[in-house]
Each structure stands twice: as C-alpha cells, then as structure tokens.
Chains A and B, each alone.
Chain A
Amino acid sequence: MRQPKNIFSNLDWPLVGMYVFFILVGWINIYAAAYNEEHKNVFDFSQEYGKQFMWIAISIVLILLVLILDAKFFSTFAYYIYIIAIAVLIVTLFIGSDVNGSRSWIYFSDSVRFQPLELAKFATNLVLAKFLGDIGVRMQDISTRLKAFVFIAIPAVLILFQNETGSMLVFASFIFVMYREGLSGNILILGFALIVLFIFTLLIDKLIVVGFITLAAIVFFFLINRSRKNILLYLFIYFLTIGFVFSVNGIYENVLQTHQKKRIDVFLGKVTDIKDKGYNVNQSKIAIGSGGLFGKGFLNGTQTKYKFVPEQYSDFIFCTIGEEWGFVGSGIVVVMYVLLLLRILFVAERQRSSFSRIYGYGLASIIFFHVMINIGMTIGLAPVVGIPLPFVSYGGSSMLSFTVLLFVFIKQDANRMQVL
C-alpha cells in the first residue's frame, strides 16, 4: 500500500481544471449579469459577484477540508450524514422561510441563508453509493430496489413538500445510477415513454393517442412478437397504457398545482404567456439569440445589462453567456459540461470500490440533470423550474454543495489505489 505524499498527489487534474473553468465562467458572468456601475469592484461584497467570490473562497477551504479528511470518512459516515440531511429537511419545513411559495430556505440573517436540499442531494448520493456498494447487495433483488427507492424518495418527498419541484426532479436522475448497477434498462425506456405519453396526451386529443397506441400495439404484436404465450401480459400492458392516458388529465388537473400546470402549458406552447411565466423564457431566448456567433462581448450584453431577464445571475446565468459570448461561448460551455460528465464517468469506471463508482455515477447524474433542465429552460427546451447551473449560477448553497459533491469524488479517486 502506498501512502500519498501530500493531499494534492494523485488528484485527477482534468477534473480539477474543469472545476476551475466553471467557477471562473460563473464568476465572470455573474459580474456581467449583476453589474452595477456604482460598484464596479468585482470583490464588492454588497454585490452578487462579491458574494460569489466569498463563496468561492469558502469552497476552497471546503476542498482542503475534504482532501485532508480520510478518504473513508464519507463512506463510513454516509448513513449518519443522510440522517442529518433528512432531519434538516424536516426542520426546514417548519422553520423555513416562505420565499415565493417555497419553504426551502433557512435564514441565518437577512443576507445569509442556506438551502438544505443542496445538502440532501449530496447525502442521498452518499447513502445510495454506500448501500448499493455493499458486497452482497444485488440490484436484481426486489428488496434492494425497494430500499434504494426509499432512500431516494424520502428526501424527494420532503423537498416536494417544500414546494421545490425542480430540485425534487433532480432525484429522478438517480435512475442512471440504478441502471448502471443493474436495474432493467426497460425502466429508462418506460420513464421516457411515460414522459412522451404525458406530453402528447396533453397536446393531442386522447382518442388519437389511444388510436396510435392501439396501432403500435397491433403492429408490434403481429410483426415482432407473435408468441401467444405472453398475450395476457401484453394485453395488461396495453390496457395499463390506455389507463395512463386517461388518467393524465386527472394527474394534470388534480395533482399538479396551478403554477406547475402553467409552466407545463407555457412549455407545451398551449398558452403564450409573454408577460408571466413565458416572459422569462421569451426574454431569455431573445437574450441568447441576440448573441449571434461571437456574442456582444463582456459587459456589452444589452439584455443582460438592462435586466430584461429577472435574476439572471442565478438560474438564468446561461443567458448572459449566450448574449455576451455568443454561440462560440455557449457552445464551449455545453461541450465542457459534456467533457466533465464523460470524465466523471471515466474516472468512476476506474474505481476499485463500488462505493466510489456508484458515487461517481450519482455525481454525474445530478450534474447532468441540473445542466439539462437549467440550460434547457433558458433555450426553451424544458419547462421553467428553478434549479441552478452547477458551479456557474450565483448562490452559496449550490456552489458549496456541488464543490463538496465533486471533491469528495476526486478524493475517493485519489485514494483508489489504497482500496483493496
């Protein structure tokens, strides 16, 4: 067994490098988005960019802390950390402040606040890695799936109660982890099919959808699968699907809340709401579109400068990138995210311990989901749900949480050789 010479040896520098890239992209664009003529200093703590710098500094401290800690610390204490995270989520439900209808923030003072659900993402990833990584736990077992599902569902439901639909959806991303660990691939297809069905049912007349399903079922049955053995199962799935189609309106009308329905409506283009929910998306598309090939240049984004997109420095930071850096800039950012994800998966696959590998997949899934939803909403490909762009959006909670998420993984990787 080799002992690391110091905490910086064996670090995966590509990951660290990409981390630094995103942090800087974020800071620069927050500066542009929140730019205030009277407070031009990028370190001015009264402005978002000054605060972001503070979060970056704290992140560095946290990184050092994570790297100093024993690599086994997080796997050893995974359950405890999870329990603490759940407890904080529950407490938040009671003492959290109401911000625009969501109760996900704990205020320490007027300007210092914390969003526990960020901790919950990390904790859930830890506990899932710990649980699925145990020798003897097999994904094929019903009990394993059930337990894994419960680990994910508890924080997800609590976050839903906090009225943070977007962050709740992030937990769906663990489906990739489960899939990698042996969950049937059908689950991905099923999930995808359900989303498509849901959308189509809301957009098109139900009877037409049913007609298509029936047609597809008949074609499938006679052309591909002629065996009569499974006919009962086959019919069961068929009627289940039809049932789903007819319950979609019920789900839509009764389960979803008005603002969620509105988001879906705007997203589906059923209502054009330039002023309200659609306003952000519309303005964001205008801002990005106005960037052109090379963008308007740093601090020259007129849409950004004159605040046509509300709170652009947080969830809509990608607009600033698009407007000021153009297709080249926004393209580079998207490509860098893909490289980051692929690097994480690559590093995950070289782990000896299941814990590290599963943790890596969880990390990639969370980042992927955030990026997909966040950029997706700014370019009108996803409904508007407020979740930050990892490492880039303004905000301490998400900044610290993603930093810890990533560096715990980097630490695991640095110590991979010490694992038997």
Chain B
Amino acid sequence: MPANKSFTSRRYVINTIFVVIALVFIIRIFFLQIIEVSNKSSADNNVFRYITEFPARGLVYDRNGKPLLFNEVTYDLMVIPHQMGKNFDTLGFCKLIDTDIVTFRKKIKTATTYSNFLPTIYDEKIPKEQYGMLQERLSEYPGFYIQARTIRNYPQPYCAQILGYIGEITPDMLEDDEYYKPGDYIGISGLEKSYEKELRGKKGARIIMVDVHNRDMGSYMKGKFDVEAKAGQDLYTYLDIELQEYAEKLLANKRGSVVAIDPNTGGILAIASSPAYDPNLLVGRDRTKNYFELLSDKNLPLFNRALSGRYPPGSTFKPIVGLIGLQEGVLNTTITYPCYGGFPLGNGKMIKCHSHPSPLALLGAIQTSCNAYFCKVLKTTIENNHYPNTEAGFDAWRDYVLSFGLGNPLGVDLPSESGGNIPTSNYYNKSFGKGHWRALSVISIAIGQGEIQLTPLQLANVAAIIANRGYFFTPHIVKAIGSLDNLNKKYLIKKYTKVNPEFFNYIIQGMYGVVEGGTAHNIKMNNIQVCGKTGTVQNAGKNHSVFIAFAPKDNPQIAIAAVVENSGFGATWAAPIASLMIEKYLTHKVERLDMEKDIMDSKLINNY
C-alpha cells in the first residue's frame, strides 16, 4: 500500500489526458458540423438527386398559324460517376448498351473530369426501342438514369437559317449565364439564338432521394421543394412559309438571297439565303456529321447571305442618289442631263453608260438607269456651294444615306446582321489626303459601286422605304411573343428618312417605268403594278444580279430585294425572282409558269 500512495497524484495526469483528448474531439466535431458547411452539401449530393425538368421550348408559327417547328421528346442516358460504386458491373453494362469497354472507360473518365457528383450526359437521343429496355434494367447499374429532353423537329425542310438551331452550351457561354448547366441546350443561331430567353422557358427541378444503391426512394418532402418547369413562349412571326418555300425553291442551285418585307409593319415575309439546307439535318444523332458537311461546303450554306452578305447595290442605289438630290434642291423633275455614252472623269476615262435616248430628266434616267445622270446628280449634291467644301458636302450626303438604314445594322431580330458599308469622308481623307478629293474622286458611289455595300436586307428595306414614301419599321421576323396580342414592342417605332415624303413619288414614278417599259420590262404583269429598280453589280467575277421592288404601286403590300451572285444582269435573274415572289404573295398563285420553271431549273451553282 505505501508504495502506491506515492503514485496517487498520477491519477491527475491520466484524468488530464482523458479530458484533453475529449476536448480535441469536441473541437473536431465542432469544425465538422458547424464550421465546414461543405459536408452538408456533400450529404445533399449523396442523397438527393436533382432531376432537372426541362420545359418545352417555345414553338414558332408563320403568319397563318402554321408551325415552323415542333418539339420531340428524346431520352438521354445520364451518369453520376461517384454513384457507380466499386462493384459496378462494367461488362454487363457495356453489353446492355452495346458498347465496348474502352469507349465506356473513356466516356466515364470524361464525365468524371467534369464532375464526380453531378450528372453528365453519357449518351444522347437513345432510340425508342433501346429506351424501354434500358428503363427496365438500369436500376442494376447505379449512377445511371434516363432523362427526357425535348428536341426540335421541323415539318417543312425550309427556314433553316431563320430558325437557326440549338446545341449544347459551350464552356464560355456557361460563364455568361448562370441559368445554364453543362449539357444544356441553347440557341446557337437564328431565332433560336435571338429569342433564346423567350423560347427557353424556365427549368424546373424535382428532388428525389436515392439510397447508396441509387434506388429511387421517392420525392423529397412530398415534392414540397420541387419547382415546376415553365414552358417557353411561342413566337408568332410575319413569315409566310409558302412564300419562304417558294423563295428557297427559286434560289435553288444559285448563290443569292431574297428578302420580302411588309412595308406597313416592317415584318419580314420571307428571307431566303441560298444554298439553304433542311433544318432537320442539325438535330438527331447525325447532326455533328451533317454540321461539318455544311460547314465545309464552299457555297457556305450556314452563312445567311440575306443579312450577313454585303454587296455593292449597283444601280438599285440610284433612287437614293436621286432622292437626296431632290431634297438638297440641286435636282428637280425637269432638269435634264445629257449622256454621251457615259460620264467623263476628266482624265480621259469615263463611267460608261449604255445606249438610250438623251438627254433625260429624272423619270427617264431611272427608267433607263443612266449612269451619267446620277453621277452628275451626286456631283452637284456634294459640291453644292452652300457647303464650304466637298468633304462637308459629302458628310451631309452621307447623313441622308444613313437615314435609309444603311451603313449600320438595322437591328433585325436575327443574329449576325451586317451593317454593310457607307464610306466616311475620313476614309477618303486617308485615301486621297484631306482636301485632295472632289466628287469625281468618289463618283462611282453614285451608281452603287465603289466602297458602298448593302446587305440584301437593307436593300429590301430601301424598297420598303420607297414604298412607304419615306419611312420604315425596322425589319423583323417576330410579330408577337407568347400570344398574338403581345406585340414585339421593339419594332413598333416608325423611322423617317431625311428626305421629304413628297419627293418619293417622283422616284416611284420612275421605278414604275422601270417595269412598265424600262430595264425590267420583262417582268411586267398586267394585274399588278410593280415598281422596281434593276442593278447589275460589277465585281471580281461575273456581275451580281440585283433587283429591288415593291407592289402594288399604290398601297404597297410587299417590298422585296433579290440578289443572285455572279449571274448577270439584274433583269435576267433577280428581277424575275422578285417578280414571281410578288405575284405569289399577292395573288397566291403564279401564272407565269414558264418564267418560274426557267428560274427554278437554272443551275448556276456549278459555274462558281
């Protein structure tokens, strides 16, 4: 006993050790439970499976209520790598989905690199036969489940470039918007892109609980925290699918575009770019292959020429030159200019003209498209004495031009619209030196050549402006969003040019003459009064054929521009196409079947 007495104090050492260890534990538990909240979300991730409910994407209708696309439900096989567990029956699974182990491992590795804990698409758009079988047997393979998703489906093989397509979101798009998760689909081009926010709706989420074997244990709290998906809004467009189809058919096997606008609203009736493609090519399992085929096509079917293509307008620009001259007071309908086969540039060279009666006043000049006349008009406009110098005169002239919606993108509701080009005086100062250029230096812009470039959409809008006698609504596809009475507010503003409406009637009279007995008399119809202007655009290759028009002359219903690349005279290709479109739209049937057949059957595409 006495021996033990001396060690009694050691009890305190032992007591202390016990207490210290306990304190360490309590601190550690405190950290785990209170400080490191991340464990909480890990726990959620373990037990909860957030099933995303994808809303039905909004549909798109044409002006007559015909759907331009449908939604189709497809099934994606999803995987959450960390739930697969170490006892995953790889062989059985590979057999089930008919794949080899190497592919399987590679895909799982990719999925794991993205996230071990979040679902990734393992395989998409599972065929219907496979879906039933998978649904039955998938419970044996933890970590895998099937998710429904809707994709697009197109009843008509047209409008591909307008509608655009949806595709899996890219990493940099993900950074811009928190709404999206990897694997989500987003509008990549066309209306799908510009109306993405309206079309996509709002994703919903269902929370279900799973056990360690990935078995569904029912919804969490009886669905109290589930969020219903909200369907996307439908788009009601001005498009006339029959007119669109007709445009694409007329343009078949040519490079070019047609844009038809209702001048009363700015609504786009048809906007075709050729070559076009069937929108169904870019959905479904082969879409990647199809996409690359389209991408590598030298005729650039994915490129929407109608709003991204820039062309010198050629003679179709002359009405604008005339209108500005009238507004500036340097021109009236009685002034005549002679034409001696062209417009001399003073250095022995000249802007050539074709043979026609001379001298001519404004009407005749438009009707015959006299180059000399409009060169003279431009010269008198920008070298007008009430401007201190040519540069100031040019700047004033340019302001008029811009007021026609040129030089900048119009703001159509489609992505990748180009603004064309209207050169600035700065540009010429750089080319010639400040104060060292005169109207003659830039005279080719008078006939829509030189640096001037317009998109077919801008050309059509110019036709609409003339049809309206001086104003326009920004061209747009979508009339209403969600319901027919919810108008697309952005496009209700009337925009006036800087030219007084009274002057337009002179030009219109001239353009009427173009079709009645001028350069485009070949497209004259007895029942419809069409006003038009041809353009034959010189460029590196064969001339582009350009034509702008509107009809009827009084109370116009359609304004149109057509461009056929490297084909020849404006009257040969673009004018008939525009004319047929007008006939189709206004009478709903085409009587000039020979002309229609000629155009449709022509294959210019092999000449390029």
Main secondary structure of the interface of A (DSSP, over half): helix
Query: Which residue from chain B places its CB closest to the CB of A344 in the assembled complex?
Result: B18
Point out the residue from B14, B39, B210 that lies within 8 Å of A286, measured CB to CB: B39
How far does the alpha carbon of A379 sit from the alpha carbon of B44 in the complex, in Å? 19
Most B Cβ at <10 Å: residue of A323, A341, A349: A341
Answer yes or no: A262 CB below 8 A from chain B CBs.
no
Interface pick from B25-33, B311-319, B497-505, B588-596: B25-33
Answer yes or no: A96 CB below 8 A from chain B CBs.
no
Q: Are B33 and A302 in contact (CB under 8 A)?
A: no
Answer yes or no: A303 CB below 8 A from chain B CBs.
yes
Q: Are A181 and B33 in contact (CB under 8 A)?
A: no
Answer yes or no: B490 CB below 8 A from chain A CBs.
no
Query: Which residue from chain A places its CB closest to the CB of B45 in the assembled complex?
Result: A286
Q: Which A residues touch B42, using CB under 8 A?
A: 286, 289-290
Q: Which B residues touch A292, using CB under 8 A?
A: 33-34, 40
> A172-192: which residues lie under 8 A (CB-CB) from chain B?
176, 179-182, 185, 188
Answer yes or no: B540 CB below 8 A from chain A CBs.
no
Answer yes or no: A26 CB below 8 A from chain B CBs.
no
Q: Are B22 and A338 in contact (CB under 8 A)?
A: yes
Q: Which B residues touch A354, using CB under 8 A?
A: 1, 4
Q: Are A326 and B33 in contact (CB under 8 A)?
A: yes
Q: Are A381 and B22 in contact (CB under 8 A)?
A: no
Q: Are B25 and A376 in contact (CB under 8 A)?
A: yes
Q: Are B26 and A303 in contact (CB under 8 A)?
A: no
> A20-35: which residues lie under 8 A (CB-CB) from chain B?
none
How far does the alpha carbon of A291 sit from the alpha carbon of B31 in the complex, in Å? 12
How far does the alpha carbon of A308 sit from the alpha carbon of B37 in the complex, in Å? 19
Point out the residue from A135, A330, A361 that lies within 8 Å of B29, measured CB to CB: A330
How far does the alpha carbon of A334 sit from the alpha carbon of B28 in the complex, in Å? 12
Given A286-B42, A306-B209: A379 in contact with B28 (beta carbons within 8 A): yes
Chain A interface size, as a band, is 35 or more
Answer yes or no: A285 CB below 8 A from chain B CBs.
yes
Q: Are A307 and B212 in contact (CB under 8 A)?
A: yes
Answer yes or no: B98 CB below 8 A from chain A CBs.
no
Interface pick from B5-13, B343-351, B545-553: B5-13
Answer yes or no: B486 CB below 8 A from chain A CBs.
no
Query: Which residue from chain B places its CB closest to the CB of A306 in the assembled complex?
Result: B211
Point out the residue from A274, A283, A291, A381 that lies within 8 Å of B28, measured CB to CB: A381
Q: Are A327 and B43 in contact (CB under 8 A)?
A: no
Point out the residue from A290, A323, A326, A331 that lies within 8 Å of B26, measured CB to CB: A331
Q: Are B210 and A285 in contact (CB under 8 A)?
A: no
Given A179-B10, A180-B7, A306-B47: A327 in contact with B86 (beta carbons within 8 A): no
Answer yes or no: A409 CB below 8 A from chain B CBs.
no
Q: Are A334 and B22 in contact (CB under 8 A)?
A: yes
How far does the alpha carbon of A182 sit from the alpha carbon of B25 in the complex, in Å? 29
Q: Which A residues touch B102, using CB under 8 A?
A: none
Q: Are B28 and A275 in contact (CB under 8 A)?
A: no
Q: Are A303 and B43 in contact (CB under 8 A)?
A: yes
Answer yes or no: A256 CB below 8 A from chain B CBs.
no
Answer yes or no: A98 CB below 8 A from chain B CBs.
no
Answer yes or no: A150 CB below 8 A from chain B CBs.
no
Q: Are A181 and B7 in contact (CB under 8 A)?
A: yes
Give 1 or 0 for each of A335-370: 1 = CB within 8 Å of chain B CB.
101100110010001000010010001001000100
Q: Are A288 and B22 in contact (CB under 8 A)?
A: no
Answer yes or no: A268 CB below 8 A from chain B CBs.
no
Answer yes or no: A322 CB below 8 A from chain B CBs.
yes
Answer yes or no: B19 CB below 8 A from chain A CBs.
yes
Q: Are A327 and B34 in contact (CB under 8 A)?
A: yes
Q: Are B29 and A379 in contact (CB under 8 A)?
A: yes
How far does the alpha carbon of A283 sit from the alpha carbon of B3 in the complex, in Å? 50
Q: Are B4 and A327 in contact (CB under 8 A)?
A: no
Q: Are A289 and B212 in contact (CB under 8 A)?
A: no
Q: Which B residues touch A372, using CB under 8 A?
A: 21
Q: Are B24 and A381 in contact (CB under 8 A)?
A: yes
Q: Are A302 and B34 in contact (CB under 8 A)?
A: no
How far does the alpha carbon of A326 sit from the alpha carbon of B33 in the complex, in Å? 7
Nearest Cβ on chain B to A170's Cβ, whole angstroms: 15
How far does the alpha carbon of A179 sit from the alpha carbon of B15 in the complex, in Å? 13
How far does the alpha carbon of A278 sit from the alpha carbon of B6 in the complex, in Å? 46
Answer yes or no: B46 CB below 8 A from chain A CBs.
yes
How far does the alpha carbon of A285 sit from the alpha carbon of B8 in the complex, in Å? 39
Answer yes or no: A287 CB below 8 A from chain B CBs.
yes
> A231-278: which residues lie under 8 A (CB-CB) from chain B?
274-276
Query: Which residue from chain B places its CB closest to the CB of A279 in the assembled complex?
Result: B86
Query: Which residue from chain B places its CB closest to the CB of A338 in the assembled complex?
Result: B22
How far does the alpha carbon of A306 sit from the alpha carbon of B217 in the complex, in Å? 9
Nearest Cβ on chain A to B142's Cβ, whole angstroms: 12
Query: Which residue from chain A places its CB closest to the CB of B29 in the assembled complex?
Result: A330
Nearest Cβ on chain B to A369's Cβ, whole angstroms: 10
Given A180-B11, A288-B39, A292-B40: A276 in contact with B86 (beta carbons within 8 A): yes
How far does the alpha carbon of A379 sit from the alpha carbon of B28 in the complex, in Å? 7
Q: Which B residues touch A139, using CB under 8 A?
A: 3
Q: Are A379 and B25 in contact (CB under 8 A)?
A: yes
Q: Are A288 and B32 in contact (CB under 8 A)?
A: yes
Q: Are A289 and B36 in contact (CB under 8 A)?
A: yes
Q: Are A293 and B34 in contact (CB under 8 A)?
A: yes
Answer yes or no: A416 CB below 8 A from chain B CBs.
no
Query: Which residue from chain A places its CB closest to the CB of B30 in the assembled complex?
Result: A327
Q: Which B residues touch A302, using CB under 8 A?
A: 43, 46-48, 209
Q: Are B22 and A335 in contact (CB under 8 A)?
A: yes
Query: Which residue from chain A places its CB closest to the CB of B116 in the assembled complex?
Result: A274
Q: Are A338 and B19 in contact (CB under 8 A)?
A: yes
- Can you list 15 A-B contacts (CB < 8 A)? A288-B32, A290-B40, A302-B47, A303-B46, A322-B32, A330-B33, A334-B25, A334-B29, A335-B26, A342-B15, A342-B19, A364-B14, A375-B25, A379-B25, A379-B29
- The 9 A-B residue pairs whose C-beta atoms are closest, nearest first, are A289-B39, A290-B43, A306-B211, A302-B47, A338-B22, A327-B33, A289-B32, A286-B42, A290-B40
